[in-house]
Amino acid sequence: MSLLAIRDLEIRFRDGTEERLLIDRVSLELKKGEILGLVGESGSGKSLLCRAVMGLLPSRKLSVTKGHVSLAGRDITRLPEREMLDIRGRRIGMIFQNPTSHLDPVMRIGDQIAEGLCRHRGLPRAAAREEAVTILRQVGFTDPPRQARMYAHEFSGGMRQRAMIAVALACDPDILIADEPTTALDVTIQAQILRQLADLRESRGLSIILITHDLGVVAQTCDRIAVMRDGRIVEEGEKRRLLAAPQHPYTQALIASHPSLPHEEAVGEPYQPHSRPLIEIDDLEVSFPAGGSPWARRRFKAVDGVSLRIGRGETVGIVGESGSGKSTLARTLLGLQPVTSGHVAFDGSVLTLERARTLARLRREAAMVFQDPFNALNPRLTVGETLAEVLRVQGKVARAAIPARVNELLDMVGLDRGFADRRPRSLSGGQCQRAGIARALAVDPTLIVADECVAALDVTIQAQIVELFRTLVAAQGLTLLFIAHDLAIVRSLCERVVVMQHGRVVEDGPSAEVFARPSHPYTAALIAAIPSIDPDQPLAAAMPDPRSQTQQEGLLT
């Protein structure tokens, strides 16, 4: 008997006279100890289906109209909320796609993990806190005792996702629903998390539904794959059979779009360094108070002595693990983060000497696509209103032409024009990120800083966005600073790659050369951890932290 069975499930949206079918007669089974991969593009219904299993439909306008969900033979489709509270967390855990929205901003991370341990496992508060530190260490935190006392806003996006995973695993559930659990994680931590999930399956008989758009993840982790499109299961089967001989055209398109697939690359002209710098960074240091207290005497160096020159029209990828300083570097060069020491210049204007003048230029000529699209967009404005607001402020488009330009921007990022009337809360993660990219393009910028801008997108849209950036760079002389943990995309898009570790640049050079012959062991480990669509290729081995305890303390001044 299946541990979890979904039978002919239908979910409808009703608002007055309007009615839409969102989940159309979906049937799935999950056996004990099995890992099922649920793949498909953003908006295909993957997350909505699993929220229905948990009894967590995101709106009262949504309802299960047909079918049922059984857990160990018990129908849980319409249980009272009191009974579902005992199932959530203890029997079924869930890792959500957007950790910022599901971590309590006023509770320390360690206390959030301990809360579930006390409720569902009956641990005393002190023992729960000790167990929380152990769990944080298991999911890749480097200093669990200190980080357990920190709040979600003090973490990078990848660290917040790891904290969300720790919360879900704390209560030792029978079933774990992982909704894009490695989307915000770098490739080495992704491999560690996937290996941990596999180990939990082996040691505890944990059953897992892994929702993802990354076929490399499901190829290396899952036993079976179910492909969703437009609220339906279009293909399902054992992973080797499905990946080797997909039957549905949509599945074939997903596999063909995977960026990690080996392919013959055309031999182009050798990389030529750009002589005219747009961005100049000299011996930059950015530090924060250690331990989360603004009065702390010791400071953590997020960026430690970085010097870079980025030429006009250049595409530069910045890669490294979560917490390596990539996003802090990007925010600092845009004037969004104070400089501790060193200098940053934009097209000859020195930010640290002429702050007001340089910031005015940056606001006119630079745009950023943020890592977390939900919190970067105004929830009160529709997508169309957000884009129109930027166009009005910039003043580069006549007011009468703004609606047409809004439609052009939506076309560019692969959103239907009807999305102009929708608000961020009604969008999937990938759709929301595409709206954020459209907003950045609305500035008509000289420089775009893209901070993990394709992390939440499915592979087909990733390919479209990468091609869009490539076209913009070629046609408009756009300078692109592309921050990512997906090295396969960086290899495809960027002519130059900068590798960061612990706030420092450890390697910088032409992408073709760095990927073919990495000179630093850390770079080699990152490349080896790129997920492959080959199901027989093992997950990358865990990469030990090369720092000793003394070196770690050396980052604190």
Whether 136 and 110 have beta carbons less than 8 Å apart is answered as yes
- Read off the pLDDT of residues 354-412 as tens digits, 9 standing for 90 and up: 999 999 889 889 998 887 777 888 999 999 999 999 999 988 889 999 999 999 999 88
Predicted pLDDT at 526: 86
Sheet holding 277-289, edge to edge: 299-311, 277-289, 341-346, 349-350
Pairing of strands 366-369, 349-350: unpaired
Name the pLDDT band for 451 (thresholds 50, 70, 90): confident
Residue type at position 529: A
- Residues 528-553, mean pLDDT to the nearest whole number: 57
pLDDT higher than 90, residue 10: yes
- Confidence at 550, pLDDT banded by 50, 70, 90: very low
Per-residue confidence band for 546, with pLDDT thresholds at 50, 70 and 90:
very low
Q: What is the pLDDT of residues 293-339, one digit of tens each?
A: 556 667 788 899 999 999 988 999 999 887 788 989 999 999 999 99
Cβ–Cβ under 8 Å, residues 246 and 257: no
The reported pLDDT for the residue numbered 556 is 39
| Confidence band for 456, pLDDT divided at 50, 70 and 90 | low
Give the best-scoring range by mean pLDDT among 58-62, 196-200, 273-277.
Answer: 58-62
- Cα–Cα distance for residue pair 241/224, rounded to 1 Å: 9
Residue 68 — pLDDT band, cuts 50, 70, 90?
Answer: very high
Q: Has residue 432 got a pLDDT over 60?
A: yes
Compute the average pLDDT of residues 9-13.
Answer: 94
Query: In terms of Cα–Cα distance, which of 391, 377, 483 is closest to 436?
Result: 377
552 has pLDDT over 50: no
Residue 292, Cβ density class (10 Å: 0-12 exposed, 13-18 middle, ≥19 buried): middle
Q: Is the per-residue pLDDT at 268 higher than 50?
A: no
**Contact of 29 with 4, CB cutoff 8 Å:** yes
**pLDDT at position 444 over 90:** no
Question: Each residue of 154-212: pLDDT tens digit?
Answer: 887 678 878 888 888 888 888 999 888 876 666 777 777 788 788 878 877 889 999 98
Supply the pLDDT for residue 539.
Answer: 64
Q: How far apart are CA 227 and CA 38, in angstroms?
A: 6
Range scoring the smallest mean pLDDT among 48-62, 441-455, 522-536: 522-536
Closest to 217 in 3D by CA, of 229, 205, 208, 206: 208
CATH numbers and ranges of domains, the chain: 4-256 (3.40.50.300), 277-532+541-554 (3.40.50.300)
pLDDT higher than 90, residue 344: yes
Name the residue among 436, 490, 494, 457 with its Cα closest to residue 254.
457
- Which region among 57-71, 187-201, 484-498, 506-520 has the lowest average model confidence (pLDDT)? 187-201
Q: Could you tell me which residue, 486 or 482, shows the higher pLDDT?
A: 482
Q: pLDDT at position 479, please?
A: 92
% of the chain exceeding 90 in pLDDT: 43
| Residue burial 248-272, b: 16+ Cβ < 10 Å; e: rest | eebbeebbebbbbeeeeeeeeeeee
pLDDT in tens, 76-99: 998 888 889 888 888 898 887 778
Whole-model pTM: value is 0.71
Task: Please state the rounded mean pLDDT for residues 278-298.
Answer: 79
